[in-house]
Structure 1
């Protein structure tokens, strides 16, 4: 059975899509059968994977709204499968708002694929709307990228409240798999202070992953529709991504989220 991880933060610009793509690739390199789910109407993950979203005959929107089988929509690149998205998914916010059993919509899309993949990684939109709600209700775990800027870090309380509400009301089995500091520059004193705050305030909730450095190589690799390891396998950001993949694989294998600093 697949283990489902949603990459979620309601803030924009915190490298959710970059993290989802590279984590998926590194997990595939560890021998895992990986499905990426682009669940953002911007369709950035679809584009990063080299797929022209605007020209697709069907996307995950058709699976949600028209019950199109996901197997009809899946594309492949770099040894990873992806359920693509484009702007059509934005219509689902309104169409699903009052839909009966809406909490089950994404589950019903993914359930027939449960034997085909070891891990499913959902790239959520930067919002607290219906789409993100469905992703969190469907997931077993949530991965939280955190930008090490003070203003961005201030939004963590709202993020935790959102996850807590879903745990209480819709998905009591949902666990936070990891907080992932992203776009980190240790030369910046603010980043050092925020990293210290993350370690002291959040490590009792979930493990803190190795910081992923800020690097223009991520943008360059995405422009070429490549994971970072394929673009530059010696880049300093590759090792923390591989460490995160091993950490996520361990959680999927054991079902245990170890809090490192209880």
Structure 2
């Protein structure tokens, strides 16, 4: 743990801080869910938080980017009903930094469960994780599924990265409806942090018009900033590092954009001020 940032964790613990859980979710692929999840994890760990990332997306992109932080636990195991699972893996060890609960082939079997059962199993394990971590981040599939629903039933917060394209905006509209339904059916405290405009091409007037329309239609549900379309983001994920570790001038600009997003999200989650 960064010793300069350790006082943050101590202050949180003294204040009775309880682990907070955020899901990245939208009914459309290629929007930057994994990018947001991984950089929130990197930034949270840099702030001295103990971060656990659960990859529920069968594509497993987060599992690739965070492979160096693999805990040895796979995400389908979180639906097993084993009450001793979390303590057997994380008990008695140093959980500083990032711990990945990676995707595995068993995720396909979760779709055969009842939604209520899947949500109950995941919620129990996340409660167990709260004994060892300060922040839990969940990467979800890009479609409505038992996996996405269980994540939303088990989370305190949700955000939706979105590229300013027509199909993407339709995906966000559907996501807002799903969140409202989840609140009514079992998680009334679920807070929507907002839509995160991502991969914005400032050379494409159509995208800029779409972004303006999105801000007009959804108002405060859209985060008041964006990340532009930059090759540094894909390079960082492929190299399994945060974008601020890439030694390029363009990456420094990209890093500033990302840290505006992470600061905003952590403030909304009341993790930092």
1:36–1:120: 8 Å Cα contact kept in structure 2?
yes
Three-state SS of the structure 2 residue aligned to 1:253 is coil
Query: Take 1:30 and 1:190, find their aligned partners in 2: how far apart are those partners?
Result: 37
Q: Which residue of 1 aligns with 2:28?
A: 11
1:41–1:88: 8 Å Cα contact kept in structure 2?
no
1:199 to 208, 215, 219: 215
- The reply on whether 1:217 has 2:235 as its aligned counterpart is no
1:84-121: CA deviation from partner (whole Å, max 9, x where unpaired) = 11222122111x237x6432111111111213222111
Unmatched 5+ stretches in structure 1: 257-262
Q: Which residue of 2 aligns with 1:244?
A: 261
Q: Which residue of 2 aligns with 1:182?
A: 198
1:150-172: CA deviation from partner (whole Å, max 9, x where unpaired) = 22212322111111111111211
Work out the number of aligned pairs and report it: 251
2:108 to 84, 87, 90: 90
Three-state SS of the structure 1 residue aligned to 2:269 is helix
**Structure 1 residue 189 displacement after superposition:** 0.5
TM-score (norm 2): 0.82
2:119–2:151: 8 Å Cα contact kept in structure 1?
no
1:38–1:84: 8 Å Cα contact kept in structure 2?
yes
2:22–2:156: 8 Å Cα contact kept in structure 1?
yes
**Structure 1 residue 5 displacement after superposition:** 0.6
**Structure 1 residue 213 displacement after superposition:** 1.2
Query: Take 2:77 and 2:229, find their aligned partners in 1: how far apart are those partners?
Result: 36
Unmatched 5+ stretches in structure 2: 1-17
TM-score (norm 1): 0.86
**Structure 1 residue 76 displacement after superposition:** 10
Greater RCO, CA 8 A, separation 6+: 1
Three-state SS of the structure 2 residue aligned to 1:87 is coil
RMSD between superposed Cα atoms in Å:
2.8
